[in-house]
Chain A
Amino acid sequence: MTDTRTGGRWSRSWWGPVLALLLGVTPLMGGAQQAKAPAEPAEKMDPQAQRILRQMSDFLAAQREFSVRTEGTLDEVLESGQKIQRQREGDVSVQRPNRLRVDRSGDLARLHLFYDGQRFTLQGERANAYATTPAPSTLDATLDMASLRLGLDAPAADLLVSDPYTALTEDVRSGSYLGRAVVDGTPVHHLAFRNREGVDWELWVEDGPRPLPRRYVITSRDMPGSPQYSVSLSDWNLSPQFTPQQFQFTPPSDAMRVSFAEPNPQGGKPEGGAK
């Protein structure tokens, strides 16, 4: 499923049915879009929202290294329709262009991620297990690999890439400025955006000389139950004293080495394949 090269070779035998499917579905989609169109004109970005988002992105991109504390919740929608909220918190350390470390605790596990520019490792503390794989040479590509090939999707990874503005705005169809607010005692600007593909998101950006993201909420409104991911970002340290060892993984001698499983193309993780 991840092998795009097969796409070309499939074409002769598969395009027929695929086209038929597309044609069959298109009238429905067209109808839905037309019905929505009056309420949501395309590409309506409030200039102030755009400016603040740009400032935040440029400021973040300019930080060569930083650490930040994250506390968040992630909704999961059960087959029955019941929505479950999972809590997770962690410390994220980034050194551009190719170092990442995440120490996370949550409802399910205590996990550590290591990326030292060459290898990407996931370590589970409770299970005393780890999986490790060669990784691309940049953080951007490694985040993509983690998401697509390992099924490890960090919803807020868009804030960590080298060009957050492009990553965040790629699918945006509208953005608005909702005014000033306070997050964790810090004055912030509240921004809200809608994407073309069934995702809404909000961002609270620190007001002042350090335009940092302080809170980030993603709503997947195209999924049943509209699950949300929300994270607050605190304790920003823009001049951390990192050592190279922090980003390197040394397996404990009694740890169990396992493989990463490729995301299941059918069930499992929705973010890897279909969307």
Chain B
Amino acid sequence: MMMQARRCRQRAAGMLLGLFVMGGLLPEALAQYGTSRRVARRTSRRTSYRHDAVYGGGATSAAVVAVPVGAATVTALPAGCMAAPVGGITYQQCGSVRYRPYYQGESLVYAVE
């Protein structure tokens, strides 16, 4: 219990740090998207309650991965990248930089590894 509490606090601290770092990166990300992505949303909040009931809130799978906090992401790769499959995921090797592709919502993005 103590361990869990500490880990949780560490995670909270990490998250705050992440917010801070992301805050710094945000203008660049927005420049790429050209938008703050504030979109009309569905009518109901029902989902949050039911989802937690079904999935226990914390269920994870390797197929859904958090982009590392602070990782730079791009929506288009530079020229001359090579596909580099590792463990079923197709990384992109662009010179000395390796990108990992993600679907972020409906957008394909590449995060620097």
Contact = CB atoms under 8 A, between A and B. Distances in A.
Given A134-B63, A261-B65, A218 B89 contact: no
B95 to A, nearest CB: 19
Contacts of B82: none
Contact of B103 (A9, A74, A77, A259): A259
B83 to A, nearest CB: 7
A84 B54 contact: no
Interface string B63-80: 111110000000000000
Q: Which residue, of A134, A168, A260, has the highest number of chain B Cβ atoms within 10 A?
A: A260
A259 B65 contact: yes
Given A79-B35, A256-B101, A270-B39, A152 B64 contact: no
Interface string A129-146: 101111010001101110
Contact of B15 (A157, A229, A259, A265): A265
Given A258-B102, A268-B105, A219 B40 contact: yes
A256 B37 CA distance: 26
**Interface SS, B side:** mixed
Contacts of A258: 89-90, 100-103, 108
Interface residues of B, number: 60
Contacts of B34: 78
A91 interface: no
A88 to B, nearest CB: 10
Contacts of B54: 136, 141, 144
Contacts of A31: none
Contacts, number: 211
Q: Which of B38, B51, B109 has the most CB of A within 10 A?
A: B38
Contact of A261 (B15, B43, B50, B102): B102
Nearest to B36: A79
B35 A145 contact: no
A153 B41 contact: yes
Given A9-B5, A265-B15, A140 B50 contact: yes
Contacts of A187: none
Chain A: interface size category: 35 or more
B68 to A, nearest CB: 10
A219 B42 CA distance: 9
A107 to B, nearest CB: 11
B103 A229 contact: no
Contacts of A78: 34-36
Contacts of B107: 108
A117 interface: no
A98 to B, nearest CB: 13
B39 A74 contact: yes
Interface string A216-238: 00111001110111000000000
B45 to A, nearest CB: 7
Nearest to B29: A267
Interface in B8-67: 8-9, 11-12, 15, 18-19, 22-23, 26, 29-30, 34-48, 50-52, 54-58, 61-67
Interface of B: 4-5, 8-9, 11-12, 15, 18-19, 22-23, 26, 29-30, 34-48, 50-52, 54-58, 61-67, 83, 85, 88-90, 100-109, 111
